[in-house]
Amino acid sequence: MPADIKEQMIYQRAVEAAIWGLPAVNYQLMFDELVKIKGNFNQVVIWPGLLDWKNQTLTPNQDVIYSMAFFNTKDVGPVVLEIPPADSGIVNGSIMDYWQAAIEDVGPGGVDKGKGGKYLFLPPGYDKSKIPNGYIPMQSQTYQGYTLMRSIPKSNSDEDIRQAVSYSRRIRVYPLSEASNPKDTTYIDASNSVYDSTIPYDHRFYQVLDKIIQAEPWLERDKAMIDPLKSIGIERGTKYNPSTRSQELLSSAVKQAKAWLEVNYESMPPFYEGKRWFFPATEETHQSILHDFSVADSYPTDNRGMIYMMAFFSAKHIGEAQYYLLTLFDRNGKPLEGNAEYRLNVPANAPVTQYWSMTVYNRDTHTFIRNTKAMGRSSQTTGIQKNSDGSVDIYFGPTPPASGEANWIPTDPNGRFEVLARFYGPKKELFDKSWKLNDIERI
C-alpha cells in the first residue's frame, strides 16, 4: 500500500493510466507476439484453419479463418490493403488505429459492400490530394494500426475450411510506393505457436504501455495524460526504468484498475429485459467509435477499457456484419462455474443469414481455456444435434452429457467461465427481440 502522498499519487495515476491505456496495450501485446514468430509490420499473420486453444488472444472466434495485418506508415508511407470481392468466399473485418478505434469496416458489411477494394491506410496529416484514383482512404491519427479479417467458411467441413483459407490468402498488403509492382505479400503462419496476448496485470503492463508512448506522437485528446504518466516514469524520449518499490505500486495499481473494470463488466445492462445476456459496449462508446472519439463532452475511457480488458477489435458499424451477446451468469444470477453442468437452449430459426455460435472462455483471462479440444459449438458444427422443434441444446461442463459430445463445450473444473454468443449476418428479429436467446441453466 502507498506509504506517503508521493506513493499515493503514483498509485492513483497508475490506476487511471491502466484504464486509459488498455486498448493500446492490448494492441501492442498482439504485435509483440507476431514479432516472436518472426513477423513484422505490413505483413499478414494467418491461422490457416479453425483456431485451437493456442490462440490466446482475447475472446477470438473458433469458427472462422483469422488473419491480421499490422500497419506502420511512419517510414514507408501509406499502406495498401487489398480485399478480394465476395465471390468464392466472404471476409468480415475492420481497419483500426492502435487504440483499436475502427476507421472503417471491410467486406460485405464494410465500405466495399462485398465488391472488394484497395483500402489505403494513411499516416497522420497525409495530403489526400496525393492519393491516386481507385483507392479507399483510411485516414488514421496514428502511424500504427491493424486490420482484423475473418474469412467465413460455408461450413466446418474440411473442403469449406480449405476454401476459406485459400480465400484469405487473396488478401494483399504492400506500401503504396510499390503499387505499380508490389511484392508478394508475406504470410506468417501462427497456428503452430502459442500466440499469447493475455493482459499482464502487474508492472509489465506499464512496460508495454511505454512502448506505445515512445513510438507514437500524442493525440490531442490524450494530452491530459502526459503529466500523470511522467509521475509513474513514462515519458517520451526518456528510458522507462522504475524502481523496485515503484514496480510494487504499479503492480498493485493495475490490479485495482482491473477490479474496477470487472465491476463495470458485471454491471452492464441486459440486452433482454430480465435476462443475463448483454452487449459489452455502451451506446456512448458506440457513438464515439462511429465519430472517431470526437463526440462533444464524451470520452468513455471506462467502458473502452472494459471492452479491451476482455476483447480485441471494434467494428465501425456494429450489427451490420456481426453482433455479440455475452453472459457471465446462469439464469439465477450465479457465476458460471467450471465444475458444474449447464444447458443452453438456442431457439429455432436463429436470426442470421450466415451462422450463430457459442464460445466458452476463461472468466479470468478472457481467452480460450488452455489444453481443451473444443472451445465452442455453432450452427455449422459438423454433427450438431437438433431437437424436434428445431432448437439446439448446448451443454457446458467438465464432462460430456449422456447424449454425447456433439453439443458439448468442455469447461475447466478449477475456474469460472463466460460464454459469448455470435450472430453472423444478423437479422432484424435479433434487434427487435422478437427472437430471444434463453439464459443458461444449471442442471
DSSP 315: -
Q: Which domains, ranges and CATH numbers included, belong to the chain?
A: 5-25+199-265 (1.10.3360.10), 38-192 (2.60.40.1610), 283-442 (2.60.120.600)
Q: What is the DSSP letter of 267?
A: T
Nearest-angstrom CA–CA distance, 21 and 26: 9
| DSSP letters spanning 356-409 | EEEEEEETTT-SPPTT-S--EEETTSTT----TTS-EEEEEESS--TT-STTEE
pLDDT in tens, 85-136: 999 999 999 999 999 999 999 999 999 999 999 999 999 999 999 999 999 9
106 touches 319 (CB < 8 A):
no
DSSP, res 270: P
User: Strand 376-378 to strand 342-346: parallel, antiparallel, or no bridges (unpaired)?
Assistant: unpaired
Angle at the Cα of 168 from the Cα atoms of 34 and 49, rounded to 5 degrees:
70
Residue pLDDT, tens place only, 68-86: 999 999 999 999 999 999 9
Beta bridge partners of 345: 393
* Cα(158)–Cα(151) distance, integer angstroms: 14
What's the pTM?
0.96
Contact 188, 38 (CB under 8 A): yes
User: What whole-number distance in Å separates Cα of residue 62 and Cα of residue 404?
Assistant: 20
| E-strand stretches of 315-351 | 322-327, 342-346
Q: Can you give the pLDDT of all 443 residues of the chain as single tens digits?
A: 677 999 999 999 999 999 999 999 999 999 999 999 999 999 999 999 999 999 999 999 999 999 999 999 999 999 999 999 999 999 999 999 999 999 999 999 999 999 999 999 999 999 999 999 999 999 999 999 999 999 999 998 999 999 999 999 999 999 999 999 999 999 999 999 999 999 999 999 999 999 999 999 999 999 999 999 999 999 999 999 999 999 999 999 999 999 999 999 999 999 999 999 999 999 999 999 999 999 999 999 999 999 999 999 999 998 889 999 999 999 999 999 999 999 999 999 999 999 999 999 999 999 999 999 899 999 999 999 999 999 999 999 999 999 999 999 999 999 999 999 999 999 999 999 999 999 999 99
Report residue 33 as a C-alpha cell.
Answer: 507476439
